[in-house]
Structure 1
């Protein structure tokens, strides 16, 4: 983009069973959609893509990856940043889509020091309020209670300096927060304006490069509110296609950037 420079850096990848990811989906149709896109019908490989935006003397990073305490296949952000010539001290703004481990836990290093020491921190008010609640742990299913514990531990590291925003706010020059709740209660995406084309940094509002586009109405296990997640996904795809926005999706195959085009009554991803 002419008004600023976008970079997408890998934090590694995650692997999840297909059977876990799309509960209730018709098995035959699910396998057909995945195989038609050249994907495994047994295991999903979700790349983890971190977006950075440089404008003037400011450098924003959207989410910070999983760090070293999540999965052995994630936590590669810092070494990949170094290969691009970016050092953690260069980052002026850390802006979160949501507080799941693969987006938040890279906030601190193994010594519990902030990885980006010179940055200001921002997260949506709805996301902060949910994960900060004393009830957050009990509201999570048993296998995800650690998500709430981890979020609260890391929130404590920035609670004195974090700024909270609401959908519609400008969180960085030319960057608008977009309400995409459903995956988590306060999940937001970011519309980047001012360049030759608008860009949508989607976070986890759109997750799978095949199923999320062909059947956005199907519930996803990773969405805290599957019904709202599906509604949000459908509306967001329509906006991206209508406005000819370039999409950057956190879990699409790296580098995860391209256009969304309508195909009959569904959508398809055209890599840039």
Structure 2
């Protein structure tokens, strides 16, 4: 069984830990923003990039409004809008340090002031950008690549940095299709512009794969499609332990209503099929799940509950 790292017994021996750097005071950070997990011999750190306030319709724009309202009420969530978590993962396997997704970065004129926290939170966790050997992108939506576009970040990265992304994803953003999404105004233009800028900035460092690629020992990225044509998940495995970073394949409502279409899905029907397949895999294997928009730190497991699924959050270990 995977074991969440004990802060009191183990983390003092790890380079990825949940304790603030000595001598550093960040009184503005009154919420937890990083959480460490051990997957066999591989270190995993979940880092919060902040939150995105979005309309609740985005959770299931194909759902009966009454059913959506009932779910929100049962979850003690507001009916109009609520905060979506933004989670990023750092993985250390052998001599490689892998950043999985890069957060939002600068606010692209969409009034998202509480997102884009990754760079300062990496610093708070004493993770030097120059130590990152690889970046894996689950897809190229702006809340997954924007952190690499923050002024001054590229200059801190290694010149031999490898950025792994599905070839189908890069191809899609050459002429993206927004005909099946249901996004708030301004988002399609911002997504298109950010993906174009990212490709231009990092073209020489992109390492494209077709279906699957082993980034480091025990760290494999696999294309799923659905959310975007090149959307991918990352599976981490070591010593019998497993963890999947599912990117945007799984949302909080997706356990009980995996057939509800998220507003950011470019192929909603395929995204629903991918979601069910991944949730079944997690329920069968007992592996841990982390996803971009599940409430931080989003570490937990999946159980089967009749025809639906059930989220089983991990107990925090202090």
TM-score (norm 2): 0.79
Answer yes or no: is 1:212 the counterpart of 2:254. yes
> For residue 45 of structure 1, what is the aligned residue in structure 2?
83
Residue 33 of structure 1 contacts residue 214 of structure 1 at CA under 8 Å; is this kept in 2?
A: no
> For residue 74 of structure 1, what is the aligned residue in structure 2?
115
Answer yes or no: is 1:258 the counterpart of 2:300. yes
Q: CA 1:122–1:115 in structure 2 vs 1: closer, same or farther (change >3 Å)?
A: farther
Distance in 1, Cα, partners of 2:140 & 2:275: 19
Distance in 1, Cα, partners of 2:141 & 2:193: 11
Q: Larger deviation: 69-78 or 115-124?
A: 115-124
Residue 59 of structure 2 contacts residue 260 of structure 2 at CA under 8 Å; is this kept in 1?
A: no
Residue 167 of structure 1 contacts residue 176 of structure 1 at CA under 8 Å; is this kept in 2?
A: no
> For residue 22 of structure 2, what is the aligned residue in structure 1?
none
Q: How does 1:53-202 map to 2 (within 5 A)?
A: 53-70=91-108, 71-110=112-151, 113-114=154-155, 116-118=157-159, 119-131=161-173, 133=174, 135-136=175-176, 139-140=177-178, 143=186, 144-202=188-246
What's the C-alpha RMSD, in Å, of the aligned pairs?
1.8
Distance in 2, Cα, partners of 1:256 & 1:115: 29
Residue 221 of structure 2 contacts residue 232 of structure 2 at CA under 8 Å; is this kept in 1?
A: yes
1:21-61 superposed Cα distances (whole Å, 9 cap, x missing partner): 42131122222222223332321311101011111221101
Distance in 2, Cα, partners of 1:41 & 1:270: 24
TM-score (norm 1): 0.92
Displacement, 1:191? Answer: 1.1
1:180-216 superposed Cα distances (whole Å, 9 cap, x missing partner): 2111111000111124421110000112x2x211010
Residue 93 of structure 2 contacts residue 216 of structure 2 at CA under 8 Å; is this kept in 1?
A: no
Answer yes or no: is 1:270 the counterpart of 2:312. yes
Residue 219 of structure 2 contacts residue 235 of structure 2 at CA under 8 Å; is this kept in 1?
A: yes
Answer yes or no: is 1:7 the counterpart of 2:45. yes
1:65-107 superposed Cα distances (whole Å, 9 cap, x missing partner): 1111333111100111122111111111111000000001111
Residue 149 of structure 2 contacts residue 198 of structure 2 at CA under 8 Å; is this kept in 1?
A: yes
Instruction: Give SS of 2:147's match.
Output: helix
Distance in 2, Cα, partners of 1:7 & 1:232: 25
Distance in 2, Cα, partners of 1:259 & 1:99: 26
Distance in 2, Cα, partners of 1:13 & 1:179: 26
Instruction: Give SS of 2:250's match.
Output: coil
Instruction: Give SS of 2:294's match.
Output: coil
Instruction: Give SS of 2:204's match.
Output: coil
